[in-house]
Amino acid sequence: MAALAHSRRALVTLVSSDEYCIGAQLLLCSYVRVSTSPLPVVVMYDQGTTSNAAVAQLRLFAASVSVNTTFVGVNNPASGLAAQEHTRSGTYTKFNVWNLDYDEVLYIDADAVILHEPEPALSFLKTGVELAYVGNQGYFNAGVMAVRPNRTTFARLVDLLRNWKRFGRNPTEQDQLIHYFKQRRVARLPGTYNIRPMHTANLQGNAVIVHAIGNPKPWTRLLLQGGASSVPNQPLDTNIARDWADALYGKLLRAVLLGSCAPS
């Protein structure tokens, strides 16, 4: 099979609040710096939880970097269903990835940054494979995924929200995805595509994507808490991990603020 044209593939992220507009800028900045032939970028933003001003600022930033970026306003598919009452229902907006008009997409959460070209992740979407992730079918993190969008899958995922209570007291989109894809053909990405500092002892290595799960986010700590100072309930479990992530995100944050997101 011939390789798909870039026009049918994309790198996708999701902005679910104003805070993640900053994270998306860091993600875009990191992508510009490492990719020699970047995919088109799709920024989905939740129209119900993200302000127009924040989206406008992100549009201006995207226009300043040399990446073809499309903005897509999306709604939370839990709206109008019982699942919308759940305290973590906002995560279900990610299901819109399966509703995009692309053949293959690399989805990356807006709290992640890219250290090496990530496009090879799409090569794991062999014939019949709809999803590739870091983990196993019993558990995986949905922050980085190679996805083959499919509107039938999107409809089925939304249908799961009608019976969300079966997934426990506090289900996220990740719980729903693990359940849905448990009996389907999937592929595993190398662990380097979703390095989470709080779970990873060897941080530097050959990481492709670093994913700052938990709160506060590194950019929040850097902007509001005085750099790498200690913060209660930080997502990184050691000072070494925290300082490494702060240095990584801090370098990108400075580039964003100074308008210098050029290839390093």
Domain assignment present for residue 100? The answer is yes
Can you give the CATH number for the domain in which 173 is found?
3.90.550.10
pLDDT at 231 over 50: no
Element (H, E) at 245: helix 239-258
* Residue 257: burial class (beta carbons within 10 Å; 0-12, 13-18, 19+): exposed
Say if 248 falls within a structural domain.
no
- Is 245 among the domain residues? no
Closest CA to 108 of 43, 184, 192: 43
Whether 250 is in a domain gets the answer no
- Read off the pTM: 0.89
pLDDT of res. 6: 52
Range of the domain at 32: 6-191
Query: Count of domains in the chain?
Result: 1
Helix (H) / strand (E) containing 197: none
Buried b (16+ CB within 10 A) or exposed e, 200-239: beebeeebbbbbbbeebbbbbbbeeeeebeebeebbbeee
Task: Give tens-digit pLDDT for 8-66.
Answer: 999 999 999 999 999 999 999 999 999 998 999 999 999 999 999 999 999 999 999 98
Q: How far apart are CA 90 and CA 173, in angstroms?
A: 9
In a domain, 105, yes or no: yes
Is 208 contained in some domain? no
User: Does residue 123 lie in a domain region?
Assistant: yes
Residue 262: per-residue pLDDT: 75
**Looking at the domain assignment, is residue 242 inside a domain?**
no
